[in-house]
Chain A
Amino acid sequence: MSSEPLLRARGVHRRFRTGPTVVHALRGVSFDVAAGCMVALVGRSGSGKTTLLNVIGGLDRPDAGTVHVDGADVTALDEDGLSRLRREKVSYVFQSFGLIPVLSAAENVAAPLRLARVAAAERERRVELLLELVGLADHARQRPAELSGGQQQRVAIARALAASPRLLIADEPTGQLDAETGLSVMALLRGVVESEGVTALVSTHDPVMMALADRVIRIHDGHLHDEAAGQLGEPVPDAG
C-alpha cells in the first residue's frame, strides 16, 4: 500500500436548495483512502452517501472543499478534464447495472476501452481477461436480457474495471439483487480489489459488505464517522 492516499477529501461541503429550503448534504467532509483499499460507505437514506460519491467521482461539484484522486484535483477540473478522469482513473458501478441492451456482455465490457481508443487486439484480450475474472467467460456473447441480474452486475463490474481505473465507485451495487446474488457480487468486488489493485468505495446497507470491507465509513447528516473493519475510528481532521 502506498504512503500517499489515493483519495483525499478535505472540507467538502455540498448544499442543495429546494425553493426556500437549503439541505446540507455534506458538512465539511474530510477523509483519506489509501490505494488498494476497499471502503464501505454506510449510512441511512439521505445521509449524504450518494452526494459524497458524486463529488468524489466528479459527477457533482462541491460548494467548498477539495477532492484529490490519484493526485488530480477533481474539483478543479473542467468538463474535458473530468471526462479524462472518468476515462482513466475513476469508474462506476450502478445499482441498475446501466448496460447497453443491444451489445453483448463482451461489447459492454469493451465500451470504456473503445472510448479510450485501445487497439482492438488489446481490447479483446482485456475483455476476455475481465470476463474470466468475473466468471462470465462463457457468457461473452450474450446480451444483458439473456443474463440474470447478478450476471448483469458482474458484467457492469467488469466494464468498470476495463480501463484499469485507480478508483471504483459503486453505489448500492446489490440494491436490485437478491441476498445470495448480492453476496456473490460483493465477494467478486472484494476479489477484484485484491487482484486488480483497484481502490473501491462502495456505498451499501449490506452488513456482509461491511464485513468484507477494509474500512467502513459511516456518514450521518453530512458528517463522517470512520471505523476500521468494525472499530470506530477518528475522521481525518479538516485540513481547512
Chain B
Amino acid sequence: MNRWLTHRWPAPHWPSVRGRGRTDAGALLLTAAVIAVVALLAAAVPALLRAAADDAVQDTVRRAGNESHLLVHADWERDAGPTGGRLRISRLADDVDDLRARATYTLGPDLDTALLPSIAVVNSPILRITDGNLPRTVQLTYLADDLDGPDVTWIAGNAPGPAIPERSIEIPYHGPPWPMQVGLSEADAAALQVGPGDRIPAEDDHGRDKDIRISGIYRPADSTDPAWRLAPALLRPVPGADGPGTTRVAALLSRESLPDARLAFDQDQLRRTVHFAPAPDALTWEATTTLASQVVKLKASSGSSAARDGSLKWESQLDTVLRDARTQISAAFTQAAVLLAAVLTATVLVLLLAADLLVRRRTPALSAARQRGAALPDLGAELIIESTVVSLSAAAVGLALAHTTAPGASWTWTIPVVLAGAVAGPTFGTLAAARASRDRHQPANPAARRWILTTGRLRRAAVETAVLIAAVAAVGTLHQRGLLPDTANGDTGELTGDLILPISAVALSALAGALVVLRLLPVGLRIVLRQALRSRRPLAVFGAARAATTAARALPLLVLVSATALASFALVVGATITRGLDDGAWHTTGADARLDISSDVQDATPALAERIAAAPGIEQVVAAQITDSAPLFTESTLLTPRLVIVDAAAFGRLLATTPLPDAPALSQLTAPGPDPAAVPALVRSSTGDLHTGTQLQLSLDNGPTIRLTAVGTAPPVGGAGDVVIVDAAALAEAGLPAVPNTIWVTGPGTAQAVSHSDVPADIVLRTDILQAQRVAPLTAGTLRLAWTTAAVLLALGLLGLTLAAAAGAQERWQTLTRLRTLGLRPRDARWVAAGELLPPVVVAAVCGPLLGALLAHLTLGPLELQLLTGQAADPATVLPWWLLGLTGVALVAAATAVVPVEAALRRHDRLSEVLRSGE
C-alpha cells in the first residue's frame, strides 16, 4: 500500500501538553525569559545603531565645518571693451546670482534637499596693508545669498556705492589704480583706526597699490548668519590667517561696488565661488552613499580649471567626509554585529543546556509514555507545540519591548535564538523517548562495546573538526577581508553574506577554544584523579572521580568557557575603546590643557605661563612656539612639517608626567650635536622624508637661516605627520629667538588655572576633548553595547552554571547517596560535590578570560576600533585584568554557592530512594 495512504498526521495528546507545561512551568518560564531578553537586545541594538548612525553622520559633517562644503567656481566672462580696454560691467552681481542659480539647478534633487541654500562669495586676492605698523593683510569680499547677503546696519557712513556715476565705462589696461568703495566692520575699522572717507593703504603681491575707499562702518544684524562664517574677517580681525604673526581684516563689497572691484584687479584675480553647506539635520546614514556619489559625479563633470570659460568647476571634500562617516558607521555596525554574534552564540548554548535540563526532568514521563505506546511523532509534535509557543511568545515580548525602546527594531537577529528555543527541547525530548524503547543493555560482546564507543568518538570528532575549521576560516577571512562592507559592490549598510563568516570569527573561535578546553579537561582531570588515587584522602578520589565523570558532558563546559571568554572579549573591547579615547585626547591636547595664544598677544605668553605655573594644583607648564607648515629645506626639497620650538628639558618632564610616550631623545637637543654649526633637532615623518642625519635649513619670518641637523626621533605632537622639534635656547643662540604661541599645562588644578587666563587664547581642555569623544553617538553606543554585552554574557555564563548544576543534580545526588551507602559521611558528601562542580568552573574561570584575551589579540586589529577612538593607528589592546578576574571570581563564587544550596534543597530527600533509582 502506498505509504501516503497509511500516513497519519501526528496527534498530540493535549492533556499531556498541558500537564507537562504546568509541571515544568519554572523551566519554561526561564527559557522564555532568556529568549525575551536576548530578543530585546538583538532587535534593539541594530535599530539603536541606525539611529546613532544618522546622528553620527550629522555630527561628522558638523565637525568637518567648511571642509564639508560643496564649492563651485566659474570664471568671469572676459570684460574686454571695444577699444582695447576693460569694460565696467555694472550688472556683475547679477552674474554672481546667475552662477548660484546654475549651480543649484545642477545639484539635482537629492543634493538640493541635503544642502542649505547657497551663498556666493567673491574674493579678491590677499593684499598687504602698507601702513607700516603690524604685518596685516586685507581681503575684499562680496557675499550674496537668497536675501542679497547678510543684513548689516551702517553705523557710520554708507554702504559702498559705485566709484563713478557712469554705469558703463571702458578703462585702459595698466592705468592708475581703479577706486573701489568698501565697508568695514566696527572691529576691523578699530583695528585699522580708519573711518568713512579714509583709504586702506594696500598693495598686491607685485607691489601695485590699490585704491580702497571706506564708504561706511557696519554692524552685522546677526553675527551668527552662516554667510559670515565664510569670511570671518568681515566681522573682526583674524590673527594667523596668513601665517604666523599676521592679522587679516576684510572689507565688504556691495552689488554696486563689485564692478569697480573687478576693474581694480587683473582679469581673473577676483574669484567667485558658490558655497553649499550641508544641512546636517537633513542628512541620514542611508543617504550618504547616494550623496557622496553625486558629489563625485559633479566633480567629475567639472570643466577643466585651465579652461577660461563660464563652466562650473566643482570642489568638495563632502564625498570624503561622508565616506569617512560611512566607514566609521559600517565599522560600528560590524563591531556591534560581532558582539551580538557573541551574545547569540552564548544564548543558543544556554538554551540547549536549558532544553537538556528540561528533558532530563521529563525523561521518566516521556519514557513511560513511549513504553505505553505513544508514537514518537506524537510526542515530538507535543513538545514542538509547547516550545514553539514559548519561544515565539517570548520573542514577541522581546520584540515589542525593542520596538518601544527603539522604533524600527528588526527581528533578523532573533531568528537563531527562536530556532534554538523551539527546536532543541523537542529534539532532545524525542531522542530521550526513543531511547526508552531501545535495548539499553550493555552488549556482552567487547567488540560491540568498542564499536559503540568508537562511533560516538568519531561523531564527536567530526563535529569538533567542523567547528575548528569554521573558526580558522572565519579568523582568516577576518584578517584578509576585514569587517568593513565591500564598497566596490555598493555598501548597502546591510549585513551581506560575505560578512557573516568574519563577523562570526570571535564567536566561532570562542566555541573552538571551548572545545579544546573540553578535550583537555578530561585529560587534566584524569591526571588529577591518578594523583588522588595515590593519595590517602578518599574525598579527593571521589571528588576527582566525579569531576572526571561529568567532564565528559560537553554542554556545561562549552557554555561556561564560551560565555566567559566572550564576556572577557567584550570587556577587552570596552576597555580598549575607553583607553583609546583617553589616549586620543592626550594626543590631541598634549597635556591636561593646551592654550593657543592669539598671534597679536603672543608677547604675553611667557608671563601667562608663569602665572599659570604659580596657580595651585599645577604640575607642569611648558610654553612652545608651534608653527604648522614651517618652511624647511633639505638639499633637494622643501618640507613643511610642524615645527616645535620648546625648552627640551621642560618638554621631557611634561611627557614623563603624562601617559604620552616618553622621549628620552629630547636630551640630545641640549647636548652638543655632531655638527657644531647646526642646531640639533628631533624629527618625525610619516613619509620617511625626515630621518636621523637629515640636514635642514630653517627660515622663519625673514629671520636668519638656521641649519638644523636631525639627531633623533621626535615624539608625536598632535596629529601632525611630520614634526621637527628644536630646543628654544639652542635656536635662540643660533639667532632665532622663539615667540611661544602655545602653552601646555598639567596638574589637577589645570581647568581652574587656565580659565582665569586674561590673555586671548583658545583653551583646549583634555577632559572636554575626551567628553566630546565619549558622547559622540557611535562611540557612546558601541561602548554601551560592549559593557552590556559583557554583562549579558556573564549573566548567561552564571545561568549556564546554574542550569548545568541543576541538570547534573539528580545524578550527583545518586552518586553521593551511593557513596554514603559505602560509608561516606553527609558532611563529607558536600566536599565530594564541590570536587565535582568546581573543576570545570575553575577551568572556565581561568581559561575563559585567557581565551577572551587571546581572541582580542587575534581580532581587535581587523575590528577597526581606531575609527571610533579617532586614533591614527589601532589602539593598543587593553586587558582589564581586574575585570577579567572578577568574571572568574563570579563564576567560582556561584559554583561554591551551589553546593550548600543543593544540600539544603535535598535535605528532605530520603537516602533510601537510591536503592531502586536507575542510572
Decide yes or no whether A57 CB sits under 8 A from chain B.
Answer: yes
* A–B complex contacts, Cβ < 8 Å, 17 sampled: A50-B915, A54-B910, A54-B911, A60-B912, A83-B820, A86-B821, A94-B914, A98-B814, A100-B546, A102-B548, A111-B819, A114-B538, A117-B538, A146-B449, A148-B449, A149-B444, A163-B822
Contact B911 A59 (CB under 8 A): yes
Count of chain B residues with a beta carbon within 8 Å of a chain A beta carbon: 38
Contact B823 A86 (CB under 8 A): yes
Residues of A within 8 A of B916 (CB): 50, 95, 171-172
Whole-angstrom distance between the alpha carbons of A86 and B914 in the complex? 14
* B874–chain A nearest beta-carbon distance, Å: 46
Contact A83 B824 (CB under 8 A): yes
Whole-angstrom distance between the alpha carbons of A84 and B822 in the complex? 9
A152-B442, A171-B916, A181-B444 known; A102 vs B549 contact (CB < 8 Å): yes
Whole-angstrom distance between the alpha carbons of A150 and B818 in the complex? 19
Cβ proximity bits A59-103 to B, threshold 8 Å, 1 near / 0 not: 110000000000000000001100110111001101111101111
A102-B526, A145-B449 known; A79 vs B822 contact (CB < 8 Å): no
Contact B536 A117 (CB under 8 A): yes
Decide yes or no whether A112 CB sits under 8 A from chain B.
Answer: yes
Whole-angstrom distance between the alpha carbons of A59 and B815 in the complex? 15
Contact B823 A83 (CB under 8 A): yes
Decide yes or no whether B453 CB sits under 8 A from chain A.
Answer: yes
Decide yes or no whether A26 CB sits under 8 A from chain B.
Answer: no
Cβ proximity bits A157-191 to B, threshold 8 Å, 1 near / 0 not: 00100010000000110001010010000000000
* B907–chain A nearest beta-carbon distance, Å: 12
Residues of A within 8 A of B529 (CB): 102
Cβ proximity bits B534-555 to A, threshold 8 Å, 1 near / 0 not: 0010100110011011000000
Decide yes or no whether B676 CB sits under 8 A from chain A.
Answer: no
Decide yes or no whether A199 CB sits under 8 A from chain B.
Answer: no
* A116–chain B nearest beta-carbon distance, Å: 7
| A169, closest chain B residue (CB) | B915
Not counting A59-B912, A115-B822, a sample of 15 additional A-B residue pairs whose C-beta atoms are within 8 angstroms of each other reads A54-B912, A57-B821, A59-B914, A83-B823, A86-B823, A92-B821, A102-B545, A102-B549, A107-B533, A111-B538, A111-B542, A115-B823, A117-B536, A117-B538, A172-B916
Whole-angstrom distance between the alpha carbons of A163 and B823 in the complex? 10
Whole-angstrom distance between the alpha carbons of A116 and B538 in the complex? 9
Pick from B442, B818, B823, B910: contact of A88, CB under 8 Å: B823
| A80, closest chain B residue (CB) | B825
Contact A91 B915 (CB under 8 A): no
* B69–chain A nearest beta-carbon distance, Å: 74
Contact B538 A101 (CB under 8 A): no
| A90, closest chain B residue (CB) | B821
Question: A84, A111, A152: which has the most chain B beta carbons within 10 Å?
Answer: A111
Contact A112 B822 (CB under 8 A): yes
Residues of B within 8 A of A145 (CB): 442, 449, 453
Residues of A within 8 A of B545 (CB): 100, 102-103
Decide yes or no whether A200 CB sits under 8 A from chain B.
Answer: no
Residues of B within 8 A of A38 (CB): none
Cβ proximity bits B901-919 to A, threshold 8 Å, 1 near / 0 not: 0000000001110111111
Residues of B within 8 A of A181 (CB): 444
Q: Which of B821-846 contact A (CB under 8 A)?
A: 821-826
Decide yes or no whether A53 CB sits under 8 A from chain B.
Answer: yes
Whole-angstrom distance between the alpha carbons of A112 and B814 in the complex? 17
Pick from A51, A101, A146: contact of B912, CB under 8 Å: A51
| B526, closest chain A residue (CB) | A102
Whole-angstrom distance between the alpha carbons of A150 and B911 in the complex? 26
* B425–chain A nearest beta-carbon distance, Å: 26
Residues of B within 8 A of A (CB): 441-444, 446, 449, 453, 526, 529, 533, 536, 538, 541-542, 545-546, 548-549, 814-815, 818-826, 910-912, 914-919
Residues of A within 8 A of B912 (CB): 50-51, 54, 59-60
Residues of B within 8 A of A148 (CB): 442-444, 449
Residues of A within 8 A of B820 (CB): 83, 86
Contact B823 A96 (CB under 8 A): no
Residues of B within 8 A of A97 (CB): 919
| A108, closest chain B residue (CB) | B545
Residues of A within 8 A of B533 (CB): 107
Contact B441 A178 (CB under 8 A): yes
Closest 6 interchain pairs by CB?
Answer: A87-B823, A54-B912, A60-B912, A114-B538, A59-B912, A102-B548
Question: B529, B819, B916: which has the most chain A beta carbons within 10 Å?
Answer: B916
A50-B916, A96-B918 known; A115 vs B538 contact (CB < 8 Å): yes
| B541, closest chain A residue (CB) | A114
Contact B825 A79 (CB under 8 A): yes
Count of chain A residues with a beta carbon within 8 Å of a chain B beta carbon: 47
Residues of A within 8 A of B915 (CB): 50, 53-54, 59, 92, 94-95, 171
| A95, closest chain B residue (CB) | B916
* B716–chain A nearest beta-carbon distance, Å: 59
Residues of A within 8 A of B526 (CB): 102
Contact A86 B442 (CB under 8 A): no
| A97, closest chain B residue (CB) | B919
A50-B916, A102-B529 known; A86 vs B822 contact (CB < 8 Å): yes
Contact B822 A111 (CB under 8 A): yes
Contact B538 A96 (CB under 8 A): no
| A60, closest chain B residue (CB) | B912
Question: B442, B549, B910, B914: which has the most chain A beta carbons within 10 Å?
Answer: B442
Whole-angstrom distance between the alpha carbons of A228 and B548 in the complex? 47
Residues of B within 8 A of A79 (CB): 825-826
Whole-angstrom distance between the alpha carbons of A176 and B442 in the complex? 10
Contact A83 B825 (CB under 8 A): yes
A83-B820, A148-B442 known; A60 vs B825 contact (CB < 8 Å): no
Residues of A within 8 A of B826 (CB): 79, 83
Residues of B within 8 A of A87 (CB): 822-823
Residues of A within 8 A of B814 (CB): 98
| A144, closest chain B residue (CB) | B442
Q: Which of A19-65 contact B (CB under 8 A)?
A: 50-51, 53-54, 57, 59-60
Pick from A100, A107, A172: contact of B549, CB under 8 Å: A100
A92-B915, A117-B538 known; A60 vs B910 contact (CB < 8 Å): yes
Residues of A within 8 A of B914 (CB): 59, 94, 98
Whole-angstrom distance between the alpha carbons of A103 and B543 in the complex? 12
A145-B449, A171-B916 known; A60 vs B911 contact (CB < 8 Å): yes
Pick from B443, B444, B824: contact of A115, CB under 8 Å: B824
Residues of A within 8 A of B818 (CB): 94, 98
Contact A59 B822 (CB under 8 A): no
| B448, closest chain A residue (CB) | A148
Whole-angstrom distance between the alpha carbons of A96 and B815 in the complex? 12
| B452, closest chain A residue (CB) | A145
Residues of A within 8 A of B536 (CB): 117, 120
Whole-angstrom distance between the alpha carbons of A178 and B446 in the complex? 17
Residues of B within 8 A of A80 (CB): 825
| A148, closest chain B residue (CB) | B444
Question: A83, A84, A87: which has the most chain B beta carbons within 10 Å?
Answer: A83
Whole-angstrom distance between the alpha carbons of A107 and B915 in the complex? 22
| B815, closest chain A residue (CB) | A100
Whole-angstrom distance between the alpha carbons of A80 and B911 in the complex? 14
Whole-angstrom distance between the alpha carbons of A40 and B412 in the complex? 66
Whole-angstrom distance between the alpha carbons of A125 and B820 in the complex? 24
Residues of B within 8 A of A163 (CB): 822-823
Whole-angstrom distance between the alpha carbons of A152 and B449 in the complex? 13
Whole-angstrom distance between the alpha carbons of A54 and B441 in the complex? 26
* B828–chain A nearest beta-carbon distance, Å: 9
Q: Which of A130-164 contact B (CB under 8 A)?
A: 145-150, 152, 159, 163
Whole-angstrom distance between the alpha carbons of A115 and B831 in the complex? 14
* A34–chain B nearest beta-carbon distance, Å: 24
Whole-angstrom distance between the alpha carbons of A120 and B535 in the complex? 9
| B917, closest chain A residue (CB) | A96
Question: B444, B814, B826: which has the most chain A beta carbons within 10 Å?
Answer: B444
Residues of B within 8 A of A116 (CB): 823
* B326–chain A nearest beta-carbon distance, Å: 57
